């Protein structure tokens, strides 16, 4: 969506920037990794298809994405491509049962050397805080769908007070949800500061 196309979010360890065409070749390189595709339930795409996907992320009103940069690496030479470590996404939809406006969240730290440093945690917290602070999104809850074997992601979202609501053995998938309540919003405010800057 166009909501964040001019927005950069600056955290302590990570910087979130809109997904631009120049980021696609490195993203495509990441997604050539079969294990990453399995963990993210992604299909292998050609470079041209990846460019089409990037355009759809920008144009579609139900998708929101940021590329995750290593803030320290970016501070050295201002090279976004070299500093890229992953991405975070939201898919917006109506919950089929409750009809609540819902955002399905995703986080991927694709660079092996960038894992275990808190990048994924901070990036996801920043994305959640950004989304719930945008009145035009009118969100009532967040949800995640995670492979049962992805212990790191399950642990991460449970630490965000997401609760398991569904387990689908045939897809090997667990769904966790987090209603956006005043208490949880206050907790989120204590985790990260949302510092937004103009992005060109």
Q: Global pTM?
A: 0.93
What's the confidence (pLDDT) of residue 143?
97
Gap between the Cα atoms of 27 and 18, Å rounded: 13
Of 81, 173, 156, which Cα lies nearest the Cα of 122? 156
The pLDDT of residue 125: 98
The pLDDT profile of the chain, 200 residues, written as one tens digit per residue, is 889 999 999 999 999 999 999 999 998 888 887 877 776 767 777 888 888 888 887 888 899 999 999 999 999 999 999 999 999 999 999 988 888 899 999 999 999 999 999 999 999 999 999 999 999 999 999 999 998 988 989 999 999 999 999 999 998 899 999 999 999 999 999 999 999 999 98
Q: Specify the pLDDT at position 43.
A: 79
Quote the pLDDT of residue 10: 97
* pLDDT at residue number 71: 97
Tell me, what's the pLDDT at 133?
93
| pLDDT attached to residue 9 | 98
Fold held by 7-195: Aminopeptidase (3.40.630)
Dist CA 142 CA 125 (whole Å) = 12
DSSP secondary structure code for residue 12 in this structure: S
- Residue of 26, 29, 107, 15 lying closest to 68 (CA atoms): 15
CA distance 181 to 77: 40
């Amino acid at each position: 969506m166009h909501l964040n196309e001019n927005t950069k979010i600056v955290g302590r360890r990570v910087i979130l920037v809109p997904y631009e065409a120049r980021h696609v070749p490195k993203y495509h390189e990441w997604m050539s990794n079969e294990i990453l595709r399995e963990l993210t339930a992604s299909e292998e795409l050609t470079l041209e298809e990846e460019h089409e996907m990037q355009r759809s992320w920008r144009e579609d009103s139900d998708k929101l994405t940021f590329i995750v940069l290593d803030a320290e690496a970016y501070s050295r030479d201002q090279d976004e491509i070299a500093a890229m470590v992953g991405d975070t996404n939201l898919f917006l939809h109506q919950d089929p049962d409750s009809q609540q406006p819902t955002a399905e969240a995703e986080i991927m730290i694709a660079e092996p050397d960038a894992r275990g440093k808190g990048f994924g945690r901070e990036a996801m917290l920043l994305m959640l805080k950004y989304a719930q602070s945008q009145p035009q999104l009118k969100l009532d809850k967040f949800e995640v769908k995670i492979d049962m074997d992805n212990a790191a992601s399950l642990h991460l979202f449970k630490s965000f007070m997401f609760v398991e609501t569904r387990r689908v053995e045939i897809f090997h998938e667990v769904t966790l949800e987090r209603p956006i309540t005043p208490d949880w919003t206050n907790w989120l405010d204590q985790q990260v500061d949302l510092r937004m800057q103009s992005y060109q």
